[in-house]
Amino acid sequence: MRVRYQTRQREEILSYLESVNGRHVTAQEICQYFEKDGVSMGTATVYRQLERLMGEGLVQKYIIDEKSAACFAYIDRKNSCHRPACFHCKCETCGRLIHLDCKELEEIQNHMLQKHGFALDTFRTVLYGTCERCREARV
């Protein structure tokens, strides 16, 4: 069994992720935050620690926009945007990310598991489409 060390960098990244209240941030944002503070923190280290934190279930990765970098967020189950009933909807027109709470979607999760054997990962899944505002603007 591989031994894991607690390093300054690890603590700082984790504490930064907690401090932004579960907001999605990119690896670059993390680097820039520490660079501004004059704290040494290499890009590779950030990626490697994020990888490790994901493996430990403390951090979740989101691919929201295919053209830009991945986002990472500390998983806090009290935080609304990471509860199981909360789905990420991305408007393909305006680019907004909408956090949608929906009982019916939660039920579909059960349906997919029961009838199709597929356990939906709501953290990872992004529902793409067009939001109300943009659909109205188009008419």
What's the closest the beta carbon of residue 95 comes to its own copies, in angstroms? 13
Whether 128 and 98 have beta carbons less than 8 Å apart is answered as no
Whether 96 and 83 have beta carbons less than 8 Å apart is answered as no
Sheet with strand 71-74: strands edge to edge: 25-26, 71-74, 59-62
Q: Say how far apart CA 26 and CA 56 lie, in whole Å.
A: 19
Partner from its own copies, DNA, none contacting 43, C-beta within 5 to 8 A by type = DNA
- Give the DSSP letter of residue 83: S
Of residues 8 and 124, the one with the C-beta less far from its own copies? 124
Q: Of 1-9, 11-19, 39-47, 126-134, which part binds its own copies (CB under 8 A)? A: 126-134
Among the listed residues 26, 79, 122, 130, the single contact to DNA using CB under 7 A: 26
Binding residues vs DNA (CB under 7 A) = 2-10, 26-28, 40-45, 47-49, 51-52, 67-70
